[in-house]
């Protein structure tokens, strides 16, 4: 995003909104289980309704992309992120914010980042410029 911790953790500037609002537990490989649907239904929808001022949603990972992009989401996370311009530049419907799909920022994704250099050269500059404009 190109911001420091002082901005990233400033609740007046950045909202970090998890899909489930509760820890779903770990799978056998040590990764997080999918968000629990009852948690998302209880909290997520109402929170976004209460924050109409949001202009940009960074959908980080497949579950956020499935929720925010719905049927427009591609088959894989890579395909979805590769089509970021299509989502980001689309005319938002009914006052909804712009959406920018991203992979999860995890050390586990370092190989993904190396295989997809366009992410750093094409998408990240747009993300940083948009975040700077909004903040």
For the chain, domain boundaries: 52-135
State residue 60's pLDDT score: 92
Fold of 52-135: Uracil-DNA Glycosylase, subunit E (3.40.470)
State residue 114's pLDDT score: 92
Is the pLDDT at 94 greater than 80? The verdict is: no
State residue 95's pLDDT score: 72
Is the pLDDT at 98 greater than 80? The verdict is: yes
What is the rounded (10 degree) CA torsion for 44, 45, 49, 53? Answer: 50
């Amino acid at each position: 995003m190109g911001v420091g911790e002082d901005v990233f953790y400033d609740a007046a500037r950045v909202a970090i909104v998890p899909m489930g609002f509760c820890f779903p537990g770990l799978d056998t490989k040590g990764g997080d289980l999918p968000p629990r649907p009852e948690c998302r239904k209880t909290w997520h929808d109402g929170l976004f309704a209460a924050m109409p001022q949001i202009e940009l949603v960074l959908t980080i990972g497949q579950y956020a992309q499935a929720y925010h992009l719905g049927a427009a989401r591609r088959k894989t996370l890579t395909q979805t992120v590769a089509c970021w311009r299509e989502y980001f530049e689309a005319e938002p419907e009914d006052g909804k914010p712009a959406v920018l799909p991203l992979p999860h920022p995890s050390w586990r994704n370092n190989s993904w980042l190396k295989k997809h250099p366009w992410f750093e050269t094409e998408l990240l500059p747009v993300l940083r410029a948009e975040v700077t404009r909004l903040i």
